[in-house]
Structure 1
Amino acid sequence: MGEQREASASAAAVAHSSNMQRVKVYRLRDGGKWDDQGTGHVAVDYIEGSKEPGLTVLDEEDNETLLVHNITSEDIYRKQEETIISWRDPEAATELALSFQEAAGCSYIWDNICDIQRNLQFSNLGGLEVGPRPASEHLEASRVLHSHDESFRSVNGELRELPPVDLSNLPLILKTILEGGITDQMRVAELITQDRDFFPKLLDIFRMCEDLENLDDLHMIFKLVRGIILLNSPSIFDKIFSDEFILDIIGALEYDPEVAKVQKHRIFLKDHVVFKEAIPIKNISVVSRIHQTYRIGYLKDVILPRILDDATLASLNTMIHTNNAAVISLLKDDACFIQDLFSRMRSPNISMESKRELVLFLHEFCTLSKSLPLVQQLRLFRDLSGEGVFEIVSDVLQSQDRKIVSAGTDIVILFLNQDPNLLRSYIVQQEGNSLLGLLVKGMVTDFGEQMHCQFLEILRILMDSFTMSGAHRDVIIEIFYERHLDYLVDVIASSCPSRSATRTSPNSALVGGNTEVHRIKPEILLNVCELLCFCVVHHPYRIKCNFLMNNAIEKILTMTRRSEKFLVVAAVRFMRTIISRNDEHLIRHVVKFNLLKPIIDAFVENGDRYNMLQSGVLELLEHIRKENLKPLVIYVTESFSDQLMKFEHFGSIQAFKLKYQQYLESADMKLSASVPDMRKKAEGRGLEKEEEDYFNERFSKAD
């Protein structure tokens, strides 16, 4: 009986081992489909006729060889899901894959491949000798590595301790870090954190190898440091980025085996990176965090950008965010620091270079404040407003230095995004040349393409009726319309050619016979027109009064004479915005002063070219028809029917003409219906007269 049980157990073990290593072999065809090469059993062993270790797959039916592959140290192998190992075979120049029957068999072969790769890479296992070892030692080295690994684990497989940090144990430490599961990696991170001597010893080995110019070991240390970083442990990051270790850590990361030349990160950081203090920071903790934040960013963006995984990248970004919040919090709580900053910026004796540095510092300070909680952000911006930040910004916007003007507009946008009423309150209290005037002037000044949009965005937020409340609402709008709207309209008018000028030479024309056309960039005129459209939507009553009294619409429509098509389209869009208000007074104004003529002229001149101008005008006419704006339908048809006749192949033009005819038919029907009524009234009046004459005659005879 005992012999039968042993035989049964032995047979079961053989069957299990056979199932573990049972695989299907697949090869990727040119068409992108996987071709089944057969089913067999895989083994890791020395390839026949060679001293190199490799993978061999024998057919399960006839023991024919299905696959022979030399295992290489190159990073070509991929483990997919639980039962597939794939790679690109450099000799066959194709993709190969093994699909295992059992996940345990896949893991067993994968571990063997990783061990052999490690041994191919590390030539100094078990001693300090340098140089390649015979391939026959690789499999034996794998077994030694396994036995060493097991000696540091408890009975239940939990990692008890790390191997001692010395050169001979670095491959084992690297294997423990790279090949362990999530639990092992968390345990490794914990052990590294608890061992105070881990990093000092590791970096001592690094310095020794660097002095000896031992590139093989330096490459291994690079992989070890990279693996430690990818453990993604905050406690390890605190040590790595400390002043004590960071330069040596960066030094270890200079020896990337995949990069042909040794990098020079430490030389760059020492010789070229200079910490500039626009204003002295006395708090040592703040300075330390600033340095640490820079180092984290440098490692993340320069040294390891292609290596970091998403989780580690997110952790490093979190550290940067936390450091920024801590720096801003410590600085904002220092009342003397803020006061000293503003005092220096107001000083009449400050040099332009110092002023520039202070403005850029203030800009970065406000930008990094977004790291704070919302309540603290709002409190900080209110404190800065109380200290006079808008006075500083007003002075900055008058500078000729584009960089600090850009910084000034960024600061304003940050305040508007936080609480627009802070800036509105300041503008309301100002007299004379206000900050609002500087913003309007900045919008038509050539500071660069990005700056045009910044000024436009600022003015939009300032005058957004949906976010205005309280006493500021009417005052801000009143200031803008009384002092600045006419200026913007005149900028457009003075930048466009007169009717007599050709549209191809706008810069040589005269406007109104007196004012020369200003050389203002078309992009600026486009933004001004966008702002005016915004005002039409948000302040319909106030802008209507201005337009009716100052003939501003006609001035704005002079943009149709510009040679730039996008400005002509902007003028069409402006008229579309005006008409979309369905305001009776504005519609009468358009008809009375023939304001659609420049739009129709531009449309006719464009001809049959299919572009935004054609689409914009057709959509405008379609809107007039659909909204049943009778005065405009009649005005357009009776004024421009001859010009539009050649565009009757467009459905919009046909429908527009039909709407006009419907109006005429409706008017004729009303007229014809009123004629019989008039006759009846006339006949009635005739009968009344005859009756009156009859009775008058009777009364006269009686007399």
Structure 2
Amino acid sequence: METVIESRRVKVYQLNKDSEWIDKGTGICSCLRNGTMDDALIVVQSEEDSSSVLLESHVLRDTDYQKQQDTLIVWTEPNGTDLALSFQEAEGCTEICTFVSEIKSHMLSEKARGKRKASSPLPEREPRSMAIMLPDPTLANLPEIERVVKRATRSIYEREKLASYVTQEYVAKLLPLLETCEDLEQVQDLYRLCNIMKGFIMLQDNDIIRYMLRDDVILDVVGCLEYDPDFPKHKANHREFLTKNSRFKQISNQEIRAKIHETFRLQYLKDAVFARMMDDPTNSVLTSLIFINHVEICKHFTQDEKVLDELFQILERNEESLERKRDAVLFTSQLCIIAKNIHLSHRKDLHKALVRHGALRVFDFSLSNIDTTIKAAGGDILANILETDANLVRTYNVVQHECGQKTLAETIINCLLKDDDCFTKGQYAEAIRMLLDLNATPFDISVTTAESSQARKDNEEFISFFYKHLIKNLVNPIMEFPEIADEEIPWLSFDKATLAFHICELLSFLVKQHTYRSKYFLLSSEISLKVVEFLRCREGTVKLAALRFIRACIGTKDEMLYSHFINKGKDIFGYVVRALLDTNGKDNLINSACLEFFEFIRKENIKFLVNHIWEKYGDKISTIDYVDCFKQFKLRYEQNNEVIQHIQAVSGPSQSTPRRSGNDGWETDYMDIDEENYFNTSDDEEDNVVPE
């Protein structure tokens, strides 16, 4: 094959099952063809690694390649995969489109010529390329128009020919027939108008679709689509919905205002009007148009500093009405929601611009607002910013703390503790988790070394601030929970159970993510002894959350934690044994979680815990015979002690370490060298030692 076009910089996108465009990478596009022009390729090689091929697609005769805007080509592969090429320059997009059109025209000509040769001895003639003709848009011609449109939409080739004939003027002449048919109550003609409008949209011509979405056209278009012949007994109310529910806050930029209106109508067409009757290619075209509009809207607000300044100043001015402040929060929420569907780099740019102009100040007004709509919108904004770049929020908290202000993190924790709504509690708990997850922020190649270093410093300061000033407030509801009597089985109210669940889940996360800081907090407080009491309550979700916390602590394989769990007046393992026995062998989550807890200790052979559990609770757990777990547990205990006895017998009494009491108050019969070194290490080294 010879290279016809080369060195056009593009981005490759692929539509996933959730109708979201996924960026597959940036590369250099080239086009290749053979000498007879019956085979051609579009190839995109990664600009970072020329040996990596991002795309290799054959140009096919029956594939419909759509040019959208000036820099986008969209098509569907034979296997159903939707692809798009976004060009850096409009010239490159035009050049590729021309190449594809030439190849397809040659293929169609060859196909037509081959059919004539096979079926008739008549001499060759040029293939007909006449566009499909439609009769004048009159009431009498509606049956013929419907027949032509239906036939054309069954074939890609016929659809292209019809699209070349249908113009905005033709649609404009057809739409007034809706009012005439409704006045005359011509139901069959209304059904025909619906089929014709569906057919025009399924032509997948961007110019026709955008024309139909105009302010002066859209109501007549959806009016035609209200009379669906597939559902003759159910007339839709699209015009009423668009008239009563389209409440837009006007924006000074007319072009962006038109884009916002168009996007709303596209989304309505896709989700409501065409939900039951749209084919995949048409769905892809509408999704692509929505995606393009979202990108343009987000880019505009990223660059429009005046609008962002005015927007967030509304929240700072005391004289502003609550309605204006409410609109500012809802607008920011909508902007963040549409940004979720665009590329990560554009989304980051938007969120940085929002934060730079004061977007994080919306939480002072929204998170503690009595209006649940505003509260939920504030939670959505926070979740979107944290998901994209949590470092922005951590840095903001550090600056607030340095200035002596109440931090956003404190506000979120207070909302978690005091809010009565179950949904918003979940939002706040997830926000706290994302703030504390230092490993979740994706790598960004555009970040400089200095910015990366500053982000790490801010993250470290934020985590330090959290453990010094915030964590006690977070766990305070559990610490204040009254002690449970030995035989008592407490009931928790729904609010208390929900709060206890979220706090236990956060504690489990901290144990896994922040090794030495979380360990210091656990050792210096009695939070673990309070959490384990939830194994006695009736609420299964709270029981499981408490058990997950204990299981996370055991997973650290830290003997100082094990000792802490035993020597604080309560034996945590006794609570787990009792929770297991209370299930009476029922096959449920609590039973399975308890069995996995003991199985982990056995498999990892955590000798200290194996010995302690069997010596203290062996008589109880040995009665559990519906699984082999505790038979194996007993065997592990016996094997461990046989090894110790053998070593003592071989080494003699002079070589074994005498029984002694450690600083933590627990005793052991024997210490090997690794265990001795464990207690001689500094605090900074403790996390790297794993007991055998």
Same-fold status (TM-score > 0.5): yes
Counterpart for residue 660 of structure 1? 637
Counterpart for residue 586 of structure 1? 561
CA contact (8 A) 1:496 1:506 kept: no
Equivalent residue in structure 2 for 1:552, among 515, 520, 527: 527
Whole-Å Cα distance in 2 between the matches of residues 677 and 269 of structure 1?
A: 91
Deviation at 1:504, TM superposition (A): 4.0
Whole-Å Cα distance in 2 between the matches of residues 440 and 676 of structure 1?
A: 57
Whole-Å Cα distance in 1 between the matches of residues 370 and 160 of structure 2?
A: 56
Counterpart for residue 456 of structure 2? 470
Residues 199-214 of structure 1 mapped to structure 2, 5 A cutoff? 199-214=171-186
Whole-Å Cα distance in 2 between the matches of residues 269 and 585 of structure 1?
A: 65
The yes-or-no answer on 1:522 pairing with 2:492 is: no
Equivalent residue in structure 2 for 1:633, among 577, 585, 610: 610
Equivalent residue in structure 2 for 1:542, among 517, 528, 531: 517
Whole-Å Cα distance in 1 between the matches of residues 336 and 475 of structure 2?
A: 34
Counterpart for residue 202 of structure 2? 230
- Where does structure 2 lack aligned partners over 5 or more consecutive residues? 1-125, 442-454, 656-692
Counterpart for residue 392 of structure 2? 422
Shift in alpha-carbon separation, 1:297–1:438, aligned structure 2, 3 A = same
Shift in alpha-carbon separation, 1:219–1:591, aligned structure 2, 3 A = closer
Shift in alpha-carbon separation, 1:326–1:636, aligned structure 2, 3 A = same
The yes-or-no answer on 1:163 pairing with 2:135 is: yes
Counterpart for residue 4 of structure 1? none
Counterpart for residue 313 of structure 1? 283
Equivalent residue in structure 2 for 1:491, among 454, 477, 481: 477
Counterpart for residue 597 of structure 2? 620
Deviation at 1:442, TM superposition (A): 2.5
Whole-Å Cα distance in 2 between the matches of residues 310 and 496 of structure 1?
A: 59
Whole-Å Cα distance in 2 between the matches of residues 488 and 676 of structure 1?
A: 51
Shift in alpha-carbon separation, 1:563–1:497, aligned structure 2, 3 A = farther
Deviation at 1:553, TM superposition (A): 1.5
The residue matched to 2:233 in structure 1 has which SS? coil
Whole-Å Cα distance in 1 between the matches of residues 193 and 653 of structure 2?
A: 109
Counterpart for residue 267 of structure 2? 297
Shift in alpha-carbon separation, 1:245–1:583, aligned structure 2, 3 A = same
Residues 97-246 of structure 1 mapped to structure 2, 5 A cutoff? 156=128, 158-159=130-131, 161-180=133-152, 181-193=155-167, 197-246=169-218
Deviation at 1:497, TM superposition (A): 4.7
RCO higher in structure (CA 8 A, sep ≥6) = 2
Counterpart for residue 355 of structure 1? 325
The residue matched to 1:479 in structure 2 has which SS? helix
Structure with bigger helix share is 1
Deviation at 1:496, TM superposition (A): 5.8
Counterpart for residue 382 of structure 1? 352
The yes-or-no answer on 1:337 pairing with 2:307 is: yes
The residue matched to 2:251 in structure 1 has which SS? coil
Q: Tell me the amino acid that sits aligned with residue 643 of structure 1.
A: K
CA contact (8 A) 1:444 1:520 kept: no
Whole-Å Cα distance in 1 between the matches of residues 552 and 138 of structure 2?
A: 77
TM-score by length of 2: 0.68
Deviation at 1:316, TM superposition (A): 1.7
Deviation at 1:467, TM superposition (A): 4.6
- Where does structure 1 lack aligned partners over 5 or more consecutive residues? 1-153, 508-518, 679-703
Deviation at 1:452, TM superposition (A): 2.8
Deviation at 1:500, TM superposition (A): 4.7
Deviations 1:643-690 (A, max 9, x none): 223225531111112222223333433444456989xxxxxxxxxxxx
Q: Tell me the amino acid that sits aligned with residue 356 of structure 1.
A: R
Shift in alpha-carbon separation, 1:172–1:657, aligned structure 2, 3 A = same
Shift in alpha-carbon separation, 1:597–1:186, aligned structure 2, 3 A = same
CA contact (8 A) 2:181 2:189 kept: yes
Q: Tell me the amino acid that sits aligned with residue 435 of structure 1.
A: L
Whole-Å Cα distance in 2 between the matches of residues 445 and 590 of structure 1?
A: 30
CA RMSD of aligned residues (A): 2.7
Count how many residue pairs are aligned between Structure 1 and Structure 2: 509
Deviation at 1:369, TM superposition (A): 2.7
Shift in alpha-carbon separation, 1:276–1:447, aligned structure 2, 3 A = farther
Pick which of 179-188 and 663-672 moved more.
Answer: 663-672
The residue matched to 2:166 in structure 1 has which SS? helix
Deviations 1:448-484 (A, max 9, x none): 3332332222222222232575212321211111122
Residues 375-454 of structure 1 mapped to structure 2, 5 A cutoff? 375-431=345-401, 432-454=405-427
CA contact (8 A) 1:329 1:372 kept: no
Residues 500-519 of structure 1 mapped to structure 2, 5 A cutoff? 500=486, 502-505=488-491
Whole-Å Cα distance in 2 between the matches of residues 577 and 504 of structure 1?
A: 24
Between Structure 1 and Structure 2, whose CA radius of gyration is higher? 1
CA contact (8 A) 1:591 1:632 kept: no
Deviation at 1:304, TM superposition (A): 3.1
Deviation at 1:601, TM superposition (A): 2.3
Counterpart for residue 11 of structure 1? none
CA contact (8 A) 1:495 1:520 kept: no
CA contact (8 A) 2:511 2:552 kept: yes
Shift in alpha-carbon separation, 1:570–1:504, aligned structure 2, 3 A = same
Counterpart for residue 433 of structure 2? 460
Whole-Å Cα distance in 1 between the matches of residues 648 and 239 of structure 2?
A: 95
The yes-or-no answer on 1:255 pairing with 2:232 is: no
CA contact (8 A) 2:190 2:224 kept: yes
Whole-Å Cα distance in 2 between the matches of residues 334 and 639 of structure 1?
A: 69
Counterpart for residue 689 of structure 1? none
Shift in alpha-carbon separation, 1:587–1:172, aligned structure 2, 3 A = same
